[in-house]
Structure 1
Amino acid sequence: MSNLINTAISGIRLNQTALSVTGNNIVNANTEGYSRQSVSQSTTISTRTAAGYLGTGVQVNDIYRNTEKHLVDQVVQDIGALSDYDTYLFNISQTNNLLASEQTSLANAMNGYFDALNEAVNDPGSLLGRQLLMSQTQQMVSSFEGVESRLLEQNLSVNKQMQAAAGTVTSLGQQIAELNQVIADAQGGGTGQSPNDLLDERDTLVRELSQYVNVSTIDREDGGMDVFIGQNQPLVVGAETQKLIAGPGNQDSSRYELFFSKGNSLQNITRQMAGGELGGLVRFRNEALDPALNSLGRIGLAITDGINQQNKLGMDLEGSLGGGVFADINKADVASERVRADSRNSPPYNKDMSITIDDLAALTTSDYELTFPGPGGQQYNIVRKSDGEVMEKGMLSEARPQEISIDGFTLHIDEGTFTAGDRFLLQPTRTGVGQMQMQITRSEEFAFASPLRIDTASGNQGGAELLSSQVISTDTAFFAKNGSFSPPLGIRFTSATTYDVLDYSNPANPVQLDPPLRNLPFVPGSQNPLLPTDPDGTTVSTDTAVAGLLQLASTNNGYPGEVITLETTDPDTGFIKQQSVTAAAGEEASVTARRLSALSGVSATAYTQTSLQDFTAGGPGEALQLTLNGVDITDPDFVLPGESVAQDVPVPLTADFLRDRINGNPDLAALGITAKSDGVKLSVFANTGIDLNFSVDGGGSLTVGDGADLITAPLPADPAVDFTVGGKMDVQLAANTELSSDISTGLFGASPTAQKNFLGIQISMTSGSGPDGQPKAGDTFTVSYNKNGSADSRNGAAMLALGSKSVLSEGNLTYQEAYGQLAEKLGILTSQARVNQSASESMLRQSMDAMQSVSGVNLEEEAARLIQLEQHYNASARLIGLARDLFDTLLNM
C-alpha cells in the first residue's frame, strides 16, 4: 500500500515541477535571451517482490535549456556579419555621397578651373581673364581642401567609433568572465545542475559582443566559456579577460588601431580584427577611406606639378620666365612628412628620410611599408600595402645618402642607424592635397607665352616649314639669365637632307656649338624633331690627331682600325648592356657612322671637310689639274648646268671657279660633296663623311688644310700626286651610355670626353618631298627670346592641354578620369555593401528562426502542455485517493 502512495506522490512532485517550469516558460516568453526549459525525468529504482520488480514511481533528473550550440553559434556569426555590413555601409555611404554629390564633386571644380584657363588663354593680354583664373584656381584649391577635410573628419569619426566599440567589447568580456566564475561555482556546488538563467545571460552577452567583432567560443569542463574575437584572438579564458583599447597607431597617430592592453604593454591586433562593428570600421578605412585620401592626393600632386612645370616653361606677361603656380611638391619639409616612423622602433632615433615624387604616371594610390627584418639593420623590404607585393628588397650600404626608387617615387635615406624590427610607413600621395597652395600673388605671373621666337631668314629659297617649338626645360645654360635665350641659335641647312645648329651670337660669323650639332639628318616630307630629346644624352666627337688628318701621297685616310664599345648601365638594376662595332683599317667615317647608328641608343653623323688655297700655275702648257673623288674638276670641256658652253679654266686656278665646278657636278652632288669660296679659300665639305680623295697633276701648286701643306704638281713624266682627307664623327649617346675604344690612337681615343647635348628645347620642322619643296642649302631659321610676346599663348595652350592629357596610371587616366574612377569605385563598393547587408539580414533571420524553433517559447505549445500536465497531476492525485480508499477498506475488514 505504501508503494502505491509513494508512486502517486512522486508523480505529483514531478508534475508540480513540470508545471512550474512550463509556467516559467510562459511568463518569460518575451524575455530577451531566454531559452525554453524542459524537465528531464526517469523512473525510480524498482522494488523486488515475490512476483517480480515493482516500480516505485518517477523522479526529476534535470531542468535543462532547449538549445543547440551550432544554432547559437550560427546566430552569433550572422549578427557579426550584419553588424559588419551595417557599419561599413553607413560609413562608405557618407564617402560616396561626398564625392558624387553635385555640390561637393571635384569634377566641377576642375572643370571650372580649366574653363577659366581657356578664357584667359584666348586673350592672354587681358588682366580681367587672368584675375578670373586666379579666383578659379583658388576655388579649385578650396574644393580639394574641403573634400579632404571631410574625409579627415570621417577618419576622426572612425577613431571615435572604434574607441567606443573597444570599450564595450572590454566591458562585455569582463561580464562574461564574471559569469564564468559564478557558473563554475554553481556547477561545482555538488548539485551537478546547470544554472540555466546564468547560461542564458552569458549567451546574451556573447550575442551582444558579436555586434562589435567576430566571436567564437569553446565550452570548458567547469561550465565556463572561452571567448575568442576577430581571427581567434583570446578575449576571455575562464575567469580571465583581456582589455581591448583603441588608440593612436604605431605608424600614424591620426589613425586609431586596436590593442590588447596588459600592464604597460600593448599588442596590436588591428590586422586580426574581423566582423562586427570593429571589422566594418577597419575594412571601411582600408578599402575606402585610405584609398580615397591617397587618390585625391595623387590627383592633387598631378595637377600641382603639371601646372607648375608647364608654367615654368613659359613667359609671363612682364617678359620673365614663369615660376611655380603652387608650392613645389618635393619641398624638403613636405618630402619628410611622407615617411612615418613606427613608435616601436629602437633607438637611436637619428633616421633622416624623405620621399620625392619622380614620375606621376607611375604613382599608385597605395601606402608602403619599409621593414628591417634582420639580422642587423642592413637588410630591408618594401611592401606595397594594397596588394602585399614586395616591391624592393636588399641590403643597405654603410654609405649615406642612399636612394631606393619604386612606383614613381624615390625614398632618400640621408642618414641614420637601423635596427632589426624597425618599421616605417611610406605615404607618397597622402599629403598631395596639402601641396595645392598657391604661390603666385599676381595674375601677371601666369606664363602663357612661349619664351622662344623662331624667325625665317628672308633669303630662304627652300620649302622647309616650322611645325612647332617647345620648351622642355628652363634649367639649361640657354635660360640661365632670366628674360633671355643665350646664345641665340641658327638652324642652317647644308643640303636638302642635312642641317647644322649653330651659335648665332654673331649672325655674320656663326660658330659650332659645344658639343656640336652638325650635319644632322633631315627627311623631306616628314616631321623632323631637330634637336636632341634626351635630357641626359651626351655627344662624343672624333677630335684626336688622326681624325681628318691630311694623308699626303695616299689614297687611304690612314685610320688604324679599332673596336668601338658602348656600355649602357640600367640605373635601377645596375645591369650593363654592351654593344660594339669593329672598324677596319682605312674604313671611311661614313661607314663607321652608319654601323654605329644601327646600335641601340646611338645616333652617329659623319662629315668630311678641308680647304684649298694659294693656287699657282706652272710653266707654259703646265696648267694645274685637280681631280676630286674621280671627277676632273678642271676638265676644260665640262659645261655647268644652265650654261651652253664650258668656262675657260683660269690660270692659275681660283677658288670661285673650283666651287662652281664642284657644286655643278652631278656625280659629286650624289656623293654629298659641296664647296664654298670666300674668293681666296675653297672649302670642300662631304656631308656623308666619305673620304675626300684628291689627285694633283700638271704644273703649279696649292696648299691644303689649316696646316697649309704645300702640294706641288709633278713633272709631266711623273705620276700624279694624291692626298686624302678622312671624315670625322659626332656620336649622340642615350643616357647612361659610355663610348670607348680599344686603342688610344684611333678616331676617338681610349676614353673620349662625353658632353651633354640637351638644349632644353625642341623644334619640329617639315618640308615638301619634291625638288621644289625641299630645303635648300643655306636656308636658315633663327631661335631667340620671345621679347614683347604678350599676345602669345602657346604655353597657355600647352597648360590647357593638361586637362585632357592622360598623366596618371601609366599614362591611361586624365585628372577627371582619375577622379571619376575613384567615385565609380566607391559607388561600386557602396552598391556591393547594400547587397551584402540585405543578404546578411536574410541570413540572420533564417538563423534566428532556426534557433527559435529550438529555444524559443511557443505559447500554444506551452498551453497544451499545461493541460497535459494538469491531467497528469489529477491522475496522480486520484491515485492517492484510491490508495486511501483501499487502506480504509482494509482497516474495516
Structure 2
Amino acid sequence: MASILNIGTSALLAFQRSLTTAGHNIANSDTEGYSRQRVNYSTQIPQLTGVGYVGSGVQVTQIERMYDDFLATQMRSAQTSASEMESYFDHASRIDNMLADTNIGLDPAIQDFFDAVQSVADDPASIATRQVMLSEAGSLVNRYHDLSQQFIDANKNVNQEMDDLANEITGLAQSIAQVNQGIVEALGASGGDSPNDLLDQREVLLNELSKLVGISVVPQDNGAWNVFIGKGQALVMESTHATLTSVNSSSDPSQQDIAFSNSLGTQVVTGQLSGGELGGLLNYREEILNPAMNQLGLVAIGMADRLNSQHQLGLDLDGNFGGQLFASPTIGVLENAYNTGTAVVSASYLDTGNLTASDYELQATNVADEFTLTRLSDGQVTTINTGGSYPYSTAEIDGISISISAAASAGDRFLIQPTRNAANTMELLISDPREIAAAGPIRAIQSTNSAGGANQGSGEISQPDYSSTANLPLSAPDTITLEWSATAHAGAPGFTVTGGPGGTIAYDPATQPNGATFSFPAYGGMSFTITGTPAAGDRFVIENNSSGVGDNRNVLKLADLQSTNSLLGQTGGGAETATFQEAYSQLVSEVGTKTHQAEVSFNATDGLRERHENSLLSISGVNLDEEAANLIKFQQAYQAAAQVITVSNTLFDSLISAIRR
C-alpha cells in the first residue's frame, strides 16, 4: 500500500508539473522569442521483491526547451543579411527618388539654362533674353545647391544613425552580458538544469543584435555565450562587454566612424564591420551617397569650367571680354588628424574633362620622399617620388595636379576630394545682362580693293573661329589685311598678309575649288576659310569686333556645349565621353540600378529569413490546439493519479479495520 501511495503521489506531482508547463506555454504563446517547453519523465528506481522488481512510480527528469541551435543560427544569419539589404534599400530609395524627381533633379534645370542661352543666340542684342539667361543660370545654381544640401543632410542623417546604432549595440551587449551571468548562476544553483526562460531572453537579445550588425556566437562550458562582431572583435565575453561609439573620422571630420572600446583600449573598426543595419548604412554611404555627391560635383565643375572658358573668349555689349559666369571651384584636401609631419598638400585642376567621381588618399611611405596616391573608387595606386625636391607638383593625374610642400613623416595621410563640395560652392558671378559675352572678339569683312573700290572677284571669307584671347584685341594697326594676287606667294597665287603675322599664304582657286582653311595660331588660335575666286587686288580684313551687339558667335559656342562631350575622359587621357546631362544621367542610372539590386536582394534575403524563422517556429512555437489537447490529457492523467491515491487510502483503511476486529 505504501508503494501504491508513492506511485500515485509521484504521478500526481509529475502530471501537476505537466499541467503547469502546458499552462506556461499557453500563457507565453504570444511572447516574443519564447520557446515551447515540455516535461520529460523517467521511471523511478524499482523495488526488488521476491517475485522480481516492482515499479515505484515516475519522476520528472527535465523541463526541456524545444529549440534547434542550427536553425537559430541560420535565422540570425539570414536576419543579418535581410536587415543589411533593407537598410541599404531604404536609404538608396530616398536618393533615387530625389535624383529622378523632375521638380528636384538637375536635368530640367540644365535644359532650361541652355534653352535660355539659345534665346540669346537668336536675339543677342535683347536685354530681356539676356536677363532670362541670367535668371536660368541662377536657377541652375540653386538646383545644384538644393541637391547638394540634400546630400549633406543625408550624410548628417547617416552620422546620427551610426551614433544611435552604436549606442543600441552597446546596450544589447550589456544586456547579453547580464543574462550570461544570470544563466551561469542559475546553472550552478540548479546543478545543471537549464534556466529556459533566461535562455529565451538571451536568444531574443541575440536576434535583435543580429539585426544591427553581423555577429558570431561561441558557446562556453559554463553556459555563457561569447559574441563577436566584425573581424573578431569580442563584443561580449561572458559577463563583460565592450562599447561601441561613433567618432569623427580622422580623415574626414564630416563623417563618422565606429570606435570599439574594451579593457585593452579603443580602435576604429568601421572598415571591419559588416551585416545588419550598420553594415547596410556603411555600404550605402560608400557605394551610393559619397559617389553621388562626387558625381554631382563633377558635373558642376565641368559646367562651370567649360562655360567660363568659352564665355571669357567673347565680348559683351560694351565690347569687353567676358568674365567668369560661375565661381571657380577648388579641390578639398583634408589632413589626417594623426599626421605628425609638417608637409602641406594642395591640388589644382589641369583638365576637368578627365576628372573621376572618386576621392584619393595620398600617403607617405617608409621610403624617403615617396608617396602613394590611391584612387579610392577602385584602389588604383600611383607612386609619386619627389626626388627630395620641394615644393613638388605632379603631372596630371585624372585631371588634377598635386603639390607637396615638404617631406612628410612615414604614414602621414591626406584625403583629396576633387569634386565633393563643388556643387555646394557653385556661385553665379554675373548680375548685369550687358556683361553676357555673346559676340566673337574678331570679325572678317570684305574691304575695298587695292584700287579703292569694291572687290571684283567671287572670293568670300568666313567669320574667324577662335579658341583663346592670345594677342587679342588686335593691336595697331588693329587689322589683319589679306590682299590676293596671282604672284603673292613666292610667285604663285595667294595673299599678302599685312598686320598680324605678316608674310604670305598660298591660295590658288584653280587647284583649290572648294576653298582653303587658314590659321593664325598666335592670334587667339584664329582660323578662317576662304572660298571662291578673288580678283587681283581684292582684299579681306580681319579686325576687332567693335560694336558687335548683333553678333552671336560666342553665345552659339556656349549653346553648343550642351551637346559636346566635355566630361568623363577615359583613364589615361582619352577623349571625353559624356555631355553634362549624360554625366548626370549616368549618376541617376547608377543609383537607380543599385537601388533596384538592393530591392531584389532584400526580397530574397527576407524570404530566406522567413523560411528559417518558420522552420524554427515549427519546433519552438506554441501550438494552442496542441496545448489545449495536452491540458485535457494531463488533467485526466492527474485525476487518474489522484484515484490511485484514493484506492491506496481505501486499502489502507480496510487493513486498519481488519486489524481492529
TM-score if structure 2 supplies the norm length? 0.89
Give the 5 Å matches for 1:242-641: 242-262=242-262, 266-329=266-329, 334-335=330-331, 338-345=332-339, 347-348=340-341, 350-372=342-364, 374-376=365-367, 378-390=369-381, 392-405=382-395, 408-456=398-446, 458=449, 465-467=460-462, 469-474=464-469, 476=470, 478-479=471-472, 484=475, 488-490=479-481, 494=489, 502=497, 504=499, 511-512=502-503, 524-525=512-513, 529-531=517-519
Q: Which amino acid aligns with 1:365?
A: A
CA distance in 2, matches of 1:218, 1:496: 98
Distance 1:316 1:29, change over 3 A: same
RMSD of aligned Cα (Å): 3.1
Q: How far did 1:60 drift? A: 1.9
Comparing 318-327 with 305-314, greater Cα deviation is found at: 318-327
Give the 5 Å matches for 1:56-205: 56-189=56-189, 191-205=191-205
Instruction: Report the count of equivalent residues.
Output: 642
Q: How far did 1:861 drift? A: 0.8
CA distance in 2, matches of 1:308, 1:486: 30
Question: Larger Rg: 1 or 2?
Answer: 1
Q: How far did 1:886 drift? A: 4.8
Aligned partners of 2:149 and 2:424 also within 8 Å: no
Distance 1:119 1:279, change over 3 A: same
CA distance in 2, matches of 1:105, 1:278: 29
* Aligned residue in 1 for 2:581: 816
Comparing 869-878 with 805-814, greater Cα deviation is found at: 869-878
The answer to whether 1:848 aligns with 2:613 is yes
Distance 1:802 1:241, change over 3 A: same
Q: What are the superposed Cα offsets for residues 736-769 of structure 1, whole Å, 9 maximum, x if unpaired? A: xxxxxxxxxxxxxxxxxxxxxx54313142546x
Aligned partners of 1:326 and 1:435 also within 8 Å: no
Aligned partners of 1:401 and 1:412 also within 8 Å: no
Q: Which amino acid aligns with 2:613?
A: M
Structure 1 spans left out of the alignment, 5+ residues: 534-757
CA distance in 2, matches of 1:497, 1:4: 140
Q: Which amino acid aligns with 1:763?
A: S
CA distance in 2, matches of 1:368, 1:485: 50
Q: Secondary structure at the residue paired with 1:470?
A: coil
Q: How far did 1:376 drift? A: 4.5
Aligned partners of 1:173 and 1:236 also within 8 Å: yes
CA distance in 1, matches of 2:438, 2:491: 35
Q: How far did 1:168 drift? A: 0.9
Q: Which amino acid aligns with 1:428?
A: P
Q: What are the superposed Cα offsets for residues 787-808 of structure 1, whole Å, 9 maximum, x if unpaired? A: 2222211111101111121211
CA distance in 2, matches of 1:406, 1:532: 28
CA distance in 2, matches of 1:519, 1:169: 82
Q: How far did 1:340 drift? A: 1.1
Q: Secondary structure at the residue paired with 1:245?
A: strand
CA distance in 1, matches of 2:508, 2:378: 48
Distance 1:887 1:430, change over 3 A: same
* Aligned residue in 1 for 2:572: none
CA distance in 2, matches of 1:823, 1:342: 32
CA distance in 2, matches of 1:491, 1:446: 31
Q: How far did 1:407 drift? A: 5.1
Q: How far did 1:167 drift? A: 0.9
* Aligned residue in 1 for 2:573: none
Aligned partners of 1:380 and 1:395 also within 8 Å: yes
Q: How far did 1:49 drift? A: 4.0
Q: How far did 1:26 drift? A: 1.1
Q: Which amino acid aligns with 2:555?
A: G
CA distance in 1, matches of 2:434, 2:373: 45
Q: How far did 1:310 drift? A: 0.3
Distance 1:47 1:461, change over 3 A: farther
Q: How far did 1:135 drift? A: 2.0
Aligned partners of 2:294 and 2:358 also within 8 Å: yes
Aligned partners of 1:470 and 1:763 also within 8 Å: yes
1:796 maps to which of 539, 555, 580: 555
CA distance in 2, matches of 1:511, 1:818: 44
Aligned partners of 2:217 and 2:225 also within 8 Å: yes
Q: How far did 1:309 drift? A: 0.2
Q: Secondary structure at the residue paired with 1:258?
A: strand
Q: How far did 1:32 drift? A: 1.6
Structure 2 spans left out of the alignment, 5+ residues: 570-575
CA distance in 2, matches of 1:435, 1:526: 49
Distance 1:67 1:496, change over 3 A: farther
CA distance in 2, matches of 1:793, 1:146: 32
CA distance in 2, matches of 1:485, 1:299: 42
Aligned partners of 2:516 and 2:531 also within 8 Å: no
Distance 1:269 1:780, change over 3 A: farther
Higher percent of residues as strand = 1
CA distance in 1, matches of 2:400, 2:414: 15
Q: How far did 1:258 drift? A: 1.5
CA distance in 2, matches of 1:212, 1:144: 34
Q: What are the superposed Cα offsets for residues 561-602 of structure 1, whole Å, 9 maximum, x if unpaired? A: xxxxxxxxxxxxxxxxxxxxxxxxxxxxxxxxxxxxxxxxxx
CA distance in 2, matches of 1:463, 1:13: 124
Q: How far did 1:488 drift? A: 4.6
Comparing 257-266 with 69-78, greater Cα deviation is found at: 257-266
Higher percent of residues as helix = 2
Q: Which amino acid aligns with 1:530?
A: F
Aligned partners of 1:494 and 1:778 also within 8 Å: no
CA distance in 2, matches of 1:35, 1:10: 27
Aligned partners of 1:357 and 1:408 also within 8 Å: no
Aligned partners of 2:183 and 2:223 also within 8 Å: yes
CA distance in 2, matches of 1:497, 1:31: 104
* Aligned residue in 2 for 1:765: 529
Aligned partners of 1:302 and 1:360 also within 8 Å: yes
Q: Secondary structure at the residue paired with 2:246?
A: strand
Q: Which amino acid aligns with 1:342?
A: N
Q: Which amino acid aligns with 2:308?
A: N
Distance 1:200 1:190, change over 3 A: closer
* Aligned residue in 2 for 1:877: 642
Aligned partners of 2:36 and 2:66 also within 8 Å: yes
The answer to whether 1:832 aligns with 2:591 is no
* Aligned residue in 1 for 2:224: 224
Q: Secondary structure at the residue paired with 1:471?
A: coil
Q: Whose relative contact order is higher, 1 or 2, with alpha carbons under 8 Å and at least 6 apart?
A: 2
Aligned partners of 1:495 and 1:776 also within 8 Å: no
Aligned partners of 2:349 and 2:401 also within 8 Å: no
Q: How far did 1:297 drift? A: 0.7
Q: Secondary structure at the residue paired with 1:792?
A: coil
Q: Which amino acid aligns with 1:9?
A: T
Distance 1:57 1:449, change over 3 A: same
Distance 1:134 1:808, change over 3 A: same
CA distance in 2, matches of 1:53, 1:498: 136
Distance 1:864 1:140, change over 3 A: same
Distance 1:54 1:145, change over 3 A: same
Comparing 234-243 with 869-878, greater Cα deviation is found at: 869-878
CA distance in 2, matches of 1:387, 1:489: 53
Q: How far did 1:266 drift? A: 3.9
Q: Secondary structure at the residue paired with 1:339?
A: strand
Comparing 307-316 with 2-11, greater Cα deviation is found at: 2-11
CA distance in 2, matches of 1:461, 1:93: 70
**Identical columns (%):** 33
Q: How far did 1:819 drift? A: 1.8
Q: Secondary structure at the residue paired with 1:319?
A: coil
